[in-house]
Chain A
Amino acid sequence: MSRALPVLSVLLGIVVIWYLASIWMNSTWVYDQAERAGTTISFAEMVPQTMDQERPLLPPPHQVGAELWKGLFGQAITSKRSLVYHAYVTFKGTMMGFGLGIIAGVLLAMAIVRFRVMDMSVMPWAIISQTVPIVALAPMIITVSSQMGIQGRDIPKAIIAAYLSFFPVLVSMVKGLRSPDQMQLDLLKTYGAGQGATFLKLRLPASMPYFFASLKVAIAASLVGTIVGELPTGAIEGLGARMLIGSQFGDPLIMWASLFAAAILAGLLIVAVGFVERFARRRMGVVG
């Protein structure tokens, strides 16, 4: 309860500011229309006209909400105009990239913790890889994979998403696999445990909290990667493609609705990861 009130009032404040901004930004068009018609228009007459324009500069919240509702529930979910359909396409890409990213991140982390030479030679490049703006690579990954005969956009999208999501997993897993202290490692040595047993019985369980903490960051990064992968060069499916179409047809309502659909998808994914985390912690006997 102590958190709901402040959050709600900040949200309310955002909505109010949004309404004021859309009145301000859309008023130019109303005044222009009035001037062209040769009439003058008062402030009180102007305000309602900023609320339901067809192509507003900044659509007010209720217009975005209506468009979102229409997109989500207005038609069959298999229709190409349904946001649920496009969100599903984006979701599929996100999950593929997320899976790939987790596998790549965990394997690399295992190698880095096992071999010092991997730590020294690969880790700096992993960091540099994240300073390369992925969007510079995205169009190229897509054309190259189409030339190599890979049909559809699923795989290039997943590669881009994995490129963004492997890094948080890698960093956290390296930290997690190294988190057991010398005392615990020594104890396992006195039991006569080898490298493999130490890894399975001590390092891996110890890294789990780090692993789950990184998943939330990774899934958000994966969603960004998928949307970026849907932006360039002629995609027609997915929330990113919807944004591009809205931008090309100059239809801001489509853009805002798909932006909010993406936000809802992001929220659901983060909540889902949190749920999996809590389930896993309970199964492992960690209270929390």
Chain B
Amino acid sequence: MSKTKENLIAVFGGTGLVVGFWLLVKLDIPSPFHYAALCLAFVFQAAWVEATVGLRRPIWARLCRIEAPIYFGLMVLLLWEGLVRSLGVAPVILPAPSAIAAQIATSLPTLWTDFAQTILKGAIPGFLIGAGAAFVVAIAIDRSPFLQRGLLPIGNFVAALPIVGLAPILVMWFGFDWQSKAAVVVVMVFFPILVNIVAGLQASERMQADLMATWGASYWQTLWKLRLPAAMPFIFNGLKIASTLALIGAIVAEFFGSPVYGMGFRISTEVGRLGLDMVWAEIAVAALAGTALYGAVSLIERWVTFWHPSQRH
């Protein structure tokens, strides 16, 4: 690619960026001109990223990898805001992002109480207990191929079932407070994690096991030094799936009865009162919590399974 072409692309990309952020600041007068400018900025930006990655300049490519999703997200928010304002969409159908942000700012204490109830007391303890139980069961049946052959198909099947349906039953058993939410989460995360651990424990190769045997390693030493580390990519796969299931379980369980706080409770009551900006505020918190939980699991994964090909960049 020639020098001029490169410069041209850089200018285009820069223009797209500047126009995009200018619109972001001046967003109170949406007009056809704004939409045209927005589309143009978007196309410029897209062309820039597409071309820059083609240049294979490591720094630019890496910058693009961070910038592109942020830019895309901002543009979507901008489009949303502009459409809501210029079409006069009623707030009971779709509140503007700015209205949602204002709602978040004014109701931080409520959001925090709900977050603490649903995520800190319901989802996370349930996730930890479920993962721990799955781990213990997986180790317990590890020595019995018979039990494994029986449990794996059943576990695979149960993992595909709509376990969410157990929520009303568990709420009936454990009452309305966080215990029942944690119980739903435990049941939801148990099978996906169990299936993955059992599959992971079978992942180490015959040759490696033989090597451990020649060194005179005991069952527990082999488990600790070879088979568990080899199982880690599978285990983290299960934990990642479970981290999103945990939030779903904790929120759904609140639809069947809860104290007068909690994210699921707030969402269902505010939907009834058509307070959609509060609902969106809760959704934003849920999205943040979900991403944070997923991100935390991924970070630990990178730290534990640094040796795995998928972690090498």
The answer to whether B46 and A117 have CB atoms under 8 Å apart is yes
Query: Which DSSP category, helix, strand, loop or mixed, fits chain A's interface?
Result: helix
Q: Of the candidates B68, B73, B153, which one forms a contact with A7 in the assembled complex, judged by CB atoms under 8 Å apart?
A: B153
Q: Give the distance in Å from the alpha carbon of A25 to the alpha carbon of B166 in the complex.
A: 17
> Contact string, B236-252, partner A, CB cutoff 8 A, digits 1/0?
00000001100110011
- A220 nearest CB neighbor, chain B only: B160
Let me know if B65 and A120 touch, CB within 8 A: yes
B154 near A131 with CB under 8 A, answer no
B93 and A147 form a contact (CB under 8 A): yes
Q: Does B20 contact A (CB under 8 A)?
A: no
Among A169-177, A180-188, A256-264, A279-287, which stretch is in contact with chain B? A256-264
* A266 pairs with B282, CB closer than 8 A: no
Q: Scoring A residues 138 to 156 as 1 if CB is less than 8 Å from chain B, else 0, what string do you get?
A: 0110011001100000000
Taking CB atoms, residues of chain A closer than 8 Å to B243 are: 131
Q: Roughly how many angstroms separate A57 CA and B174 CA in the complex, as a whole number?
A: 11
In the complex, the answer to whether B150 meets A233 with C-beta atoms within 8 Å is: no
Give bound CA distance, A187 to B276, whole Å. 55
CA distance A135 to B282 in the complex (A): 12
- Residue B202 at the A interface, CB < 8 A? no
Interface size on A, residues (CB 8 A): 63
Interface pair A144/B248, CB less than 8 Å apart: no
Q: Is the CB of B69 within 8 A of A124?
A: yes
Q: Are B244 and A130 in contact (CB under 8 A)?
A: yes
Whether A247 touches B256, Cβ cut-off 8 Å, given contacts A134-B248, A255-B168, A270-B160, is yes
- Chain B contacts for A231, CB-based, 8 A: 164, 252, 255
**B165 and A243 contacting across the interface, CB-CB below 8 Å:** yes
Please measure, in the bound complex, the distance between the C-alpha atom of A220 and the C-alpha atom of B290, giving whole angstroms: 21
Given contacts A121-B46, A133-B244, 14 further A-B contacts (CB under 8 A): A3-B149, A3-B153, A25-B173, A117-B53, A131-B294, A132-B283, A135-B255, A135-B264, A144-B93, A217-B160, A244-B168, A252-B172, A255-B165, A266-B162
